[in-house]
Amino acid sequence: MPVGGAEEKLPGAEILNCFVALSGGDSANVVVIPTASRLKSTGRRYRKLFRELGAGEVHVLPFETREDCTRQDWLEELERADGVFLTGGNQLRLSTTLGGTPVAAALRRLNEAGTTVAGTSAGAAFMSEHMIAFGEEGPSPRADMVTLAPGLGLLKKVILDQHFRQRDRLGRLLAALAYNPFGVGVGLDEDTAAVIDRDNLLTVVGSGAITIVDPADMSFSSMDSAKADAPVCLIGLKVHVLVAGATFNLFTRVAEPPTGL
């Protein structure tokens, strides 16, 4: 469940309520991982929020070092989770701290077994196999506009970007896809989430939109010949803009509007 950042807190909290419900509601054992944030208060703030939203138990596991990621007591707590929430901050803190550790392996194993894993902002970016580490803003793709790094790998054929409309990130998502159009680009507006089920069906939740960029039929890319900072020519991309209730099948690549529209 990647979230575009700046999700509404109390009152309302549609996205956070959805996460708690998917994790089991009042019987949910939720684990918060605030590694991406440098603020000591981040974990405590989300623990308070999830308790107020009715989660049964909420635990904070502040993995700050790679050594922390081998603590047996914290790993045992993580294994008991019904839902895991990765906070915002810096996605490179997540990849450099958790990458290649028992924590990352546990998150992949738990998610495969049915545990809900959500991440907001940096936590969302980290979920994909190929993670946008950083890049420049702007609507048009340019060579050298974006830097990719290995992510957690929960989503194998998806590249995620967050704060999408608010920070004008279409260009860097297009540039990331232009390197190798193997998957689907998903741009998440703030206060907007993608709930992705076992059947690879993405459903939009929240007040904003999700921009889907499907490069399956791309017939031309100039990325291989573009000079540094030059615009990149891309032909044949398909773009969908989805609002709450709309769906996109990541396997068949078919988009559907919300029921009733």
- Catalytic machinery residues: 121, 163, 190
Q: What is the pLDDT of residues 55-113, one digit of tens each?
A: 999 999 999 999 999 999 999 999 999 999 999 999 999 999 999 999 999 999 999 99
Question: So what's the pLDDT on residue 87?
Answer: 98
What class is the 2-250 domain? alpha beta
What does the domain layout of the chain look like in residue ranges?
A: 2-250
Low-confidence ranges of the chain (pLDDT < 70): none
Query: How many other CB atoms are there within 10 angstroms of residue 227's CB atom?
Result: 9
Question: So what's the pLDDT on residue 260?
Answer: 78
3-state helix, strand, coil in the chain (%, to 5): 25, 30, 45
Q: What is the pLDDT of residues 40-62, one digit of tens each?
A: 999 999 999 999 999 999 999 99
Which residue's structure tokens are 């924590």?
A: 103
Half-sphere exposure of 91 (CA within 13 A, CB side): 28
